[in-house]
Amino acid sequence: MSTSEITGFDPAAIYAAATGEKSPAPARSERQQNRQRGLIMETRVRPRGHKWYSRFVHMMKILLPVVAALLIVLILVWPYLRTEDLRFRLSFAALNANQNEDPSMVNPRYLGIDKENQAYSVTADLARKLAADGSGVELEMPKADITLNDGTWLVLTAKNGVFKQTKSTLDLTGAVNLFHDSGYEFQTSQAEIDLEKGLAKGSAAVRGQGPFGELQGEGFRLIDKGKTIVFTGKSKLVIYPGAEKPVQ
C-alpha cells in the first residue's frame, strides 16, 4: 500500500459508508455563526421598518395637499382680514354700505390753502354727502382750524355744519364757538365762514369775552381772519378796568 493511500484514509468516512449515516459537518467558526445570526435578525427587522416607512409616505400624501389647500385659502382670505387696518390708515371707515343711502365717513379731514397761502383744515366726527356730485358734505361736530399770518390761529367748532369743498365755505349751526389764541372767545348759534378769504359772519345773537371784558350783539362780522370783529345790531360792551383796547 502506498503512502498516499494511507494518508487519504478517513475512518469517519468508512464508518459512515458502512452504517449509512452522513458524516458530521465540520465545525463553523464563531465569526461565521455571528454573521449568520446578524443576517437572520436583519431579515426579521427589515419588514417592520419597511411597513412604518410605507405608513409615513401614505400620511404625507394626505397631509401635504391639505396643508397646501389651507395656505391657498389663507392667501385668498388675508386681504379681508386686513380691511380694518387699511381703514385705519385711510383715517375713515364706511358705515353705510346700502346703495340707497349716502356713504358716511368717520373722522374725515379736509386740508386747504387760502389766498395768502396759509393752511387751514376742517375735521369732524362724522361726514355724509348731501349731493351726488359731492359738492356738499354734512358734518357732525365739525371743527375748523385757521392759521393766521402772524402765526396765531383761530378755531371754530359747532354741533353741525355743511362744508362745500369746491367753494371753501363752511356753514355752522348749533352751539357755534369761536376761539382766538389771543384770548378772545365768542358763542353764537349760526355762522357762515369763507375759508378761502378768511371771513365769517352771523346774524344770530352773539356773546363774547376776552382780555378787554364782555360783549353782546345781535350779529357779527369777522374780517381778515379775526384781526377785526364787528358786532352788528344792538350791542352791549362791558370793559374791565385797565383792559386793553377792545375789538370793534
Instruction: Give the model confidence (pLDDT) of 174-218 as tens digits.
Output: 999 998 888 889 999 999 999 888 888 999 999 988 888 888 999
Pairwise CA distance, residues 109 & 113, whole Å: 14
Give the per-residue pLDDT at 81.
58
Using alpha carbons, select from 156, 213, 144 the residue that is nearest to residue 188.
156
Q: How confident is the model at residue 159 (pLDDT cuts 50, 70, 90)?
A: very high
Q: Which residue has the higher pLDDT, 51 or 22?
A: 51
Q: Quick one: which H or E segment has residue 66?
A: helix 30-81
- Taking only the tens place, the pLDDT of each residue in 176-186 is 999 888 888 99
- Taking only the tens place, the pLDDT of each residue in 51-94 is 677 777 788 888 888 888 888 888 877 766 554 444 433 344 44
Greatest mean pLDDT among 8-22, 39-53, 162-176: 162-176
Q: Has residue 23 got a pLDDT over 60?
A: no
Pairwise CA distance, residues 102 & 131, whole Å: 9
Whether the pTM exceeds 0.75: the reply is no
Mean pLDDT for the chain overall: 74
Pairwise CA distance, residues 14 & 40, whole Å: 36
Beta-carbon contacts of 182 under 8 Å, excluding residues fewer than 6 positions away, are 152, 210, 211
Query: For residue 192, what is its C-alpha cell?
Result: 357762515
Helix/strand/coil for 201: strand
Within 13 Å of residue 105, how many CA atoms lie on the same side as its CB? 19
One-letter identity of residue 184: Y
- Taking only the tens place, the pLDDT of each residue in 100-146 is 455 678 888 888 888 888 888 899 999 888 765 556 889 999 999 88
Whether 154 and 200 have beta carbons less than 8 Å apart is answered as no
Q: Has residue 225 got a pLDDT over 80?
A: no
Using alpha carbons, select from 167, 107, 112 the residue that is nearest to residue 139.
107
